[in-house]
Amino acid sequence: MSDAAHMLMNKIENLKRFGIDISNSKFKNNDLEDVRVMSAYIREVMEFFGSFDFKRLEQTLANAQWQASATSITRLEQKAQELGINSFLKPFEGIRVSIIQKNMRSARQSLVVANNKKSQIIRYIGQSR
């Protein structure tokens, strides 16, 4: 195994500590030890965390745009499930319930939890490049 493959494999293994598992993602039927597959997975995870949907959710919640917030959280949940990012499903569910109840405080608290996790993961991936 090449150094690059070994480094990517370690990174993906360490992401499991954050509740991010390639074997639960849309990549599960691919060769999970292939450098291209691992690189594509990490790239998609980073794109997910950098997506405009997080910012849009924050903005729509701040403006009490409940329907738009519901749309954003649905997209985020679907993408998280697709990428095997299970650690975000609970905070996203909290946001979803808060949106349904129109509970701004609770929605913002759940969003803070998600954003803190997101920051930790981005920081980890950035440091381990």
pLDDT, tens digit (0-9, with 9 covering 90-100), for 36-91: 988 999 999 999 999 999 999 999 999 999 999 999 999 999 999 999 999 999 99
Residues in the chain: 129
pLDDT, tens digit (0-9, with 9 covering 90-100), for 94-126: 999 999 999 999 999 999 999 999 999 988 887
Band of residue 129 on the pLDDT scale cut at 50, 70, 90? low
Helix axes of 66-83 and 52-62: crossing angle, nearest 10 degrees: 150
Tokens 């691919």: give the residue. 30
Domains and CATH numbers, the chain: 3-127 (1.20.120)
Check residues 68 and 24 and name the one with the higher pLDDT: 68
